[in-house]
Each structure stands twice: as C-alpha cells, then as structure tokens.
Amino acid sequence: MPLPPKICPRCGDEYLHRATQCTNCEIPLILEGEQVGAESVPQLPDVSELVCVRAAASSWILALAERMEEAGIPHRVEASGDTSRAREAPWGIFVRTEDAAAASAIDAEHMKIQMPDLPEGYDPRATESEDGEACPACGEVLAGKSDECPSCGLFLGSE
C-alpha cells in the first residue's frame, strides 16, 4: 500500500511521502488535509513588494537561501525576472525591505566563503566600470546613488 503524498502548503505542489521540504518555497511539506499553523509558513508579500538581494544560478541561490534560513530571515526564491540574463542568473532571492541589509550582509559573507581569493575589503555592491559603478549581479551601469539596481532589482544597500 503506497504512502500518501505530501503537499506544499504555499504552492500546492505534490511530493513523494518521504520528501520533507518544498523545492520551490523551501518550507516543510504537510500531508494532504493537515492544517498548518501560521507560524510555520512565513507570510511574505508578493515578490513585487520584496527586495532582490541577489540574482544568480540556482546553486548559488539555494546555498544563500540556506544561510538566510539559518539566520531566520524570511525569504523567497523565484525566477529573477531579468529575461535578458536568464541563462546567467535565472533565480533571485527576495526579502522584505526591513531584512534587506541583513540579507545583503549574509550575501557578502557567502561570497567571501565561495570566493576566498577576493581582495580584502572587497564590496560586492561597489563594482566599478568604465562609466562608473556597475551592478555586481547584472553589470548595469548605475546612475547616482541608489539602494536598488533599476535593471535587476539587486539590493545595493544605503551608505
């Protein structure tokens, strides 16, 4: 007799009974008909109201999402929305505005771990291009000081 499938309480995707977490929403799965307490699923607004901390390949984003989970920062992993860079950075990790600075610090720390040869004091939010500052996620030249890249939505932090 097969075991009943599990479902994601947020997106409704169905998984084998032995699965424990939704691969899209990164939240615990439940048995069909089981109730979930409000504290189990972080209630984040629509992605249009969230800040993109990083747009990157899925392996980078999933590792970063795990670190956000450990830090207790509610987050959402979704397609980055930048179709011009879909092959390079198809996924984005999004957080609430009030969590953006902490999430950006975790992202910078994760970058240093993943790329230990980066120069000391390297700031991933202040990459220079010939025309001025460039977004470290998409390379878009940034005009003036901004907390967010106008092209990909990467949170750049405020001075």
Residues 17-61 pLDDT 10s: 888 888 887 788 888 777 655 444 457 788 788 888 888 887 888
Quick check: 45 and 146 in contact, CB under 8 A?
no
158 part of a folded domain: no
User: Are 129 and 59 in the same domain?
Assistant: yes
User: Are 25 and 72 in the same domain?
Assistant: no
24 part of a folded domain: yes
Quick check: 6 and 31 in contact, CB under 8 A?
yes
157 part of a folded domain: no
| pLDDT mean over 110-119 | 81
Which one, of 115, 114, 113, 95, lies nearest residue 157 by Cα?
95
User: Are 56 and 122 in the same domain?
Assistant: yes
**Amino acid at position 41, single letter:** V
pLDDT of the residue at 88: 54
User: Are 29 and 59 in the same domain?
Assistant: no
Query: Residue 147 and residue 157: Cα distance in Å, rounded?
Result: 5
6-10, 118-122, 123-127, 154-158: which is most confident: 6-10
User: Are 89 and 130 in the same domain?
Assistant: yes
User: Are 22 and 95 in the same domain?
Assistant: no
User: Are 63 and 111 in the same domain?
Assistant: yes
In the chain, how many H helices and how many E strands?
A: 2, 8
| pLDDT mean over 110-127 | 71
User: Are 78 and 124 in the same domain?
Assistant: yes
User: Are 21 and 94 in the same domain?
Assistant: no
pLDDT of the residue at 149: 74
The 8 Å CB, 24+ separation contacts for 80-83 are 80/52, 80/55, 80/152, 80/153, 81/152, 81/153, 82/55, 82/138, 82/151, 82/152
**Alpha helices of 23-119 — where are they, by DSSP H?**
58-71, 100-114
Overall domain count for the chain = 2
User: Are 10 and 85 in the same domain?
Assistant: no
Query: Residue 74 and residue 14: Cα distance in Å, rounded?
Result: 23
Confidence of residue 66 (pLDDT cuts 50, 70, 90): confident
Query: Residue 64 and residue 87: Cα distance in Å, rounded?
Result: 19
**Residue numbers of the domain that contains 127:** 47-134
CA dihedral sign, ordered 131, 136, 137, 143: negative
pLDDT of the residue at 129: 40
* Average pLDDT value over all residues in the chain: 75
Residue given tokens 């987050």 in the structure block: 75
